[in-house]
Amino acid sequence: AQSVTQPDIHITVSEGASLELRCNYSYGATPYLFWYVQSPGQGLQLLLKYFSGDTLVQGIKGFEAEFKRSQSSFNLRKPSVHWSDAAEYFCAVGPMEYGNKLVFGAGTILRVKS
Amino acid sequence: DTEVTQTPKHLVMGMTNKKSLKCEQHMGHRAMYWYKQKAKKPPELMFVYSYEKLSINESVPSRFSPECPNSSLLNLHLHALQPEDSALYLCASRDAGQSSYEQYFGPGTRLTVT
């Protein structure tokens, strides 16, 4: 069955430090992979997506992610975190067979300390 | 423009009330979604509309009634809700004609059932 695992529920990093959020997926075919960010009480904003081609994809707000098929991973990275990056991050995979649905991971809450 | 708008931002209703949530997008997307999100959880899919027809109902109780009057508008009619229905309700849209599958989310309606 298709699924997404985000192993870290919470991560705390210092402002200016680098960040890596982990995402592992289980999917029968070539996946479409996404990272979304959600600030408290807000909707989800698409950070970046991977469909095919270059396995290192660039997104908005200085984020990037690398697709590694051999590890079934799609980790999100940022070289220098800003206090405004504090939010919840969701990895998602799709499409599902019926209805082009996305499956979301449980999310990782990022805290940034000054 | 990748904007999905939702009104109202906040809604408080009693268990005997009838209310509606509204979602609008002008990106020409022909797939629209309703999600329910509880605190610290990923979004849970409720309904999918494709070309203004209901294509997926994820076994949602009948006290939630979706409606898609035209290609830009999606409503969620609420009646006789329970306190456990309190949550953030998110609308999303997708370009059904493209094999890209990313969904664009609105800011959500925070619903409290008293």
| Tokens linked to B50 | 């494709």
- Cα–Cα dist A112/B37, whole Å: 24
Find residue B44's DSSP bridge partners: B36
The full 3-state SS of chain B, as one line of letters, equals: CCCEEEECCEEEECCCCEEEEEEEECCCCCEEEEEEECCCCCCEEEEEEECCEEEEECCCCCCEEEEEEECCEEEEEEECCCHHHCEEEEEEEECCCCCCCCCEECCCEEEEEC
What's the pLDDT score for residue B2?
Answer: 66
- Cα–Cα dist A20/A75, whole Å: 7
Q: What is the pLDDT along chain A (114 residues), one digit of tens a residue?
A: 789 999 999 999 999 999 999 999 998 777 899 999 999 888 999 999 998 888 999 999 999 999 999 999 999 999 999 999 999 999 999 876 666 788 999 999 999 999
- Cα–Cα dist B65/B38, whole Å: 19
- Cα–Cα dist A110/B98, whole Å: 32
A35 and A23 Cβ atoms separated by less than 8 Å = yes
CA distance A78 to chain B (A): 21
Which one of A36, A101, A106 has the shortest CB-CB distance to B45?
A101
Any chain A CB within 8 A of the CB of B105?
yes
Binned at pLDDT 50, 70 and 90, residue B66 comes out as very high
- Residue A98 to residue B56, Cβ atoms within 8 A: yes
A69-89: pLDDT as tens digits: 999 999 999 999 999 999 999
Which one of B42, B88, B92 has the shortest CB-CB distance to A106?
B42
- Cα–Cα dist A36/A61, whole Å: 12
Any chain B CB within 8 A of the CB of A96?
no
| Amino acid letter, residue A79 | P
Total residues belonging to chain A = 114
Decide which of A95 and B24 is more confident.
B24
- Cα–Cα dist B84/B44, whole Å: 14
Binned at pLDDT 50, 70 and 90, residue B95 comes out as confident
| Pairing between β-strand B109-113 and β-strand B10-13 as defined by DSSP bridges | parallel
CA distance B98 to chain A (A): 11
- Residue A100 to residue B94, Cβ atoms within 8 A: yes
B94 and B4 Cβ atoms separated by less than 8 Å = no
Q: Report the percentage of chain B scoring pLDDT > 90.
A: 89
What's the pLDDT score for residue B1?
Answer: 59
With 0-12 CB in 10 A as exposed, 13-18 as middle and 19+ as buried, what is B99? exposed
